[in-house]
């Protein structure tokens, strides 16, 4: 219930976590003061009793402020109250030699983890001032410390109480830091995945899954001034795509394009650059590939295309292919040459198809 109220007050996730941690630190300090009060009653140390009682009552002030939404002020008051009441207890005890002085490092550690940097330095300055008071106050007889006695059960209670508050407080803050680190790591992984997805989207054709025209043109520029010559270029165009779209619909045409991307991807090598550069146009850049190697790859493609079409007797895939091999400085001319060869083959395919249609009509 307490945490739900704090979550309702603080909207920021980090503030919610710190508010819960501060709540438990206040509870731990309150419990430690009750511990001191109980010990003081047992040993009839009324100065320690009053100190513990006042300290416990004062903790209700930052607790109330915490529930009003003033996280920074509440944390500063908690640390300041603890510092002042600890200094008062040490002054009434054995001064700079009092064993409770080990509480100062605890206060500084908690302040460094809980408070903003400016408040942390303020608390650090107060701590130095408290230490100066204990040293010089005793030196100039501004207060009279109790004479030192052998360590006993009371000292054990004080030290144990301070130690437990420190352990619980630091553990709460450390767990908060670990949780934030885990969250940051998850966000980094998620951001990296998103960046990779965006990069993939920006360089790939969504329909076929192969690279797009923008990526192809970037790689074309890279190869043009690189050392990967000879570079072979293959241009491919899907035959009859418009007819398929007009007669069977665009879904059938899209399926034909996907199949084209699949067949081409299965033939070319890892270092080759395959892309869809237009509606029915595909292009491949083959670095360090001469005309003989390019012919071998084209033969492999034709064999793969025949095997593929055997699985689609009612929807044959036909491509017009043009190729060219270029030396350094001739990449642009090679693109034009490959494109001309592709259109020449496409024209030949149309002529062949028309002849087949005329023969079937006369028969």
346-357: pLDDT as tens digits: 988 887 777 766
Q: CA distances (Å), 146 to each of 92, 100, 246, in order?
A: 7, 13, 103
The pLDDT value recorded for residue 149 is 65
Within a domain: 208 = no
207 in any annotated domain = no
* 183/220 same-domain check: no
Q: Is residue 96 part of a domain?
A: yes
Q: Does 160 share its domain with 283?
A: no
- CA neighbor of 301 nearest in space, from 315, 314, 282, 287: 282
In a domain, 304, yes or no: yes
CATH of the domain at 281: 3.30.70.270
Phi, psi of 150 (to 5 degrees): -65, 150
Residue 84 has pLDDT above 80, yes or no: yes
Q: According to the model, what pLDDT value does residue 362 have? A: 64
38 & 148 share domain: yes
Q: Are residues 129 and 73 in the same domain?
A: yes
Instruction: Mark whether 187 and 230 lie in a shared domain.
Output: no
User: What integer pLDDT is reported at residue 308 of this predicted model?
Assistant: 94
In a domain, 198, yes or no: no
Q: Does one domain contain both 176 and 304?
A: no
Domain-located, residue 206: no
Q: Region 75-102: what's the mean pLDDT?
A: 89
Residue 247 has pLDDT above 80, yes or no: yes
> Residue 297: which of 283, 306, 308, 286 has the closest Cα?
286
Task: Report pTM.
Answer: 0.56
pLDDT, position 361: 61
Domain of residue 106 covers 2-191
Q: Is residue 165 part of a domain?
A: yes
160 and 302 together in one domain: no
Distance, in Å, from the CA atom of 120 to the CA atom of 126, rounded to the nearest integer, reads 10
What value does the mean pLDDT take over residues 235-244? 93
Q: Is the pLDDT of residue 306 over 70?
A: yes
21 pLDDT higher than 90: no
Q: What is the DSSP letter of 230?
A: S
Mean pLDDT, rounded, of the chain = 87
Within the chain, how many helices (H) and strands (E) appear? 13, 4
Pairing status of strand 231-238 against strand 281-286 = antiparallel
Q: pLDDT per residue over 147-169, tens digit each?
A: 766 666 666 766 777 777 777 77
């Amino acid at each position: 219930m307490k945490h739900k109220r704090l979550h309702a007050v603080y909207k920021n996730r980090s503030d919610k976590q710190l508010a819960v941690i501060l709540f438990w630190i206040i509870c731990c300090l309150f419990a430690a003061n009750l511990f001191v009060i109980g010990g003081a009653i047992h040993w009839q140390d009324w100065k320690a009793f009053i100190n513990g009682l006042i300290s416990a009552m004062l903790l209700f002030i930052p607790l109330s402020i915490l529930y009003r939404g003033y996280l920074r002020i509440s944390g500063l008051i908690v640390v300041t109250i603890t510092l002042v009441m600890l200094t008062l207890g040490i002054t009434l005890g054995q001064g700079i030699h009092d064993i409770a002085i080990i509480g100062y490092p605890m206060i500084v550690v908690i302040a460094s983890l809980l408070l903003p940097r400016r408040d942390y330095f303020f608390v650090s300055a107060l701590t130095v001032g408290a230490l100066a008071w204990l040293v010089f106050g005793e030196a100039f007889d501004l207060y009279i410390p109790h004479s030192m006695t052998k360590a006993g059960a009371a000292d054990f209670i004080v030290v144990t109480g301070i130690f437990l508050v420190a352990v619980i407080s630091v553990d709460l803050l450390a767990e908060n830091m670990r949780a934030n680190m885990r969250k940051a790591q998850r966000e980094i992984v998620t951001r990296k995945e998103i960046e990779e997805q965006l990069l993939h989207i920006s360089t790939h054709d969504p329909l076929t899954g192969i690279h797009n025209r923008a990526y192809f043109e970037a790689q074309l520029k890279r190869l043009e001034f690189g050392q990967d010559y000879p570079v072979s270029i293959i241009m491919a165009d899907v035959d009859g795509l418009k007819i398929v779209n007009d007669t069977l619909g665009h879904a059938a045409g899209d399926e034909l394009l996907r199949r084209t991307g699949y067949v081409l991807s299965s033939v070319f090598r890892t270092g080759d650059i395959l892309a869809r550069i237009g509606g029915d146009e595909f292009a491949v850049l083959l670095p360090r590939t001469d005309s003989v190697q390019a012919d071998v790859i084209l033969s492999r493609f034709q064999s793969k295309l025949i095997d593929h079409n055997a699985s689609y007797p009612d929807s044959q895939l036909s491509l017009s292919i043009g190729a060219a091999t270029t030396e350094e400085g001739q990449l642009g001319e090679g693109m034009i040459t490959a494109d001309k060869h592709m259109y020449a083959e496409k024209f030949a395919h149309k002529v062949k198809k028309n002849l087949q249609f005329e023969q079937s009509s006369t028969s």
